[in-house]
Amino acid sequence: MALLTLEDAKAQLNTKSDVDDTELQAYIDSVTAVIEEFVGPVEPREVTEQHDAGHGRRVLVLRTMPVLSLTSVTPLLVGGVSYPVDGLVLDEESGEVRRRNGGSFRGLLQVVEQAGRLSVPSTINLAARMLVQHLWRTQRPSRGGGLAGGGDDYSVASPIPGFGYAVPNRVLELLQPYRLPPGVA
């Protein structure tokens, strides 16, 4: 499963030519990180996190969302306690992990999870298509002879920290229903 295929991007750009395929693929590859900054992992992947449960914590809150499943919760220090996954409850929406028996987690833990989505929502795919189109336009002059500028769906009202003017308003609006809560990366 891919966030965006070469065929998707070419359809968005209304091109059938394969002359620019290599360059276009570089654009496609680059937008995944941008989209995932706003919505979390799209393509399923294994993620490893460290959590310090100290002397007792009833809930671990995973930092990578969305979460598909837990693989393991093991101690990082010799003599620590492992927590079998079948004894844990994962709230996939919030990323909260609790012990089934109501007990606490203890110590420095390594949590391995599967994060991402089972399928790419069509709205996220469309946002990725539009982002490729926006970035592609910055180096391809419009038929009028200049770069397409503000006032259209690709305008950017203000720079976004870490991205400048690379992400247009229309893309942000499409991603809004899938945005990560503040503080989740």
Domain end position, chosen among 88, 115, 142: 115
What is d(CA 71, CA 47) in angstroms, rounded to the nearest whole number? 10
pTM of structure = 0.78
| Same-domain pairing of 111 and 130 | no
Closest by CA position to 58, among listed 92, 86, 83, 93: 83
| Same-domain pairing of 49 and 110 | yes
Say how many Å lie between the first and final Cα of the chain, rounded.
22
For residues 120 and 146, which has the higher predicted lDDT (pLDDT)?
A: 120
Report the phi/psi class of residue 151: left, alpha or beta, with left for phi > 0 and alpha for psi in -120 to 50: left
| Same-domain pairing of 22 and 49 | no
Closest by CA position to 135, among listed 179, 169, 168: 168
Domain extent at residue 101: 45-115
| Same-domain pairing of 21 and 70 | no
pLDDT of 2 > 70? The answer is yes
21 inside domain: yes
Cis previous bond, 181, omega within 30: no
Tell me the pLDDT tens digit for each residue of 88-129: 999 998 899 999 999 999 999 999 999 999 999 999 999 999
Asked if 142 and 148 touch (Cβ cutoff 8 Å), the reply is yes
169 inside domain: yes
| Same-domain pairing of 52 and 104 | yes
Tell me the pLDDT tens digit for each residue of 43-82: 999 999 999 999 899 999 999 999 999 999 999 998 889 9
The DSSP bridge partners found for residue 98 are 59, 89
| Same-domain pairing of 171 and 123 | yes
Number of domains forming the structure of the chain: 2
139 inside domain: yes
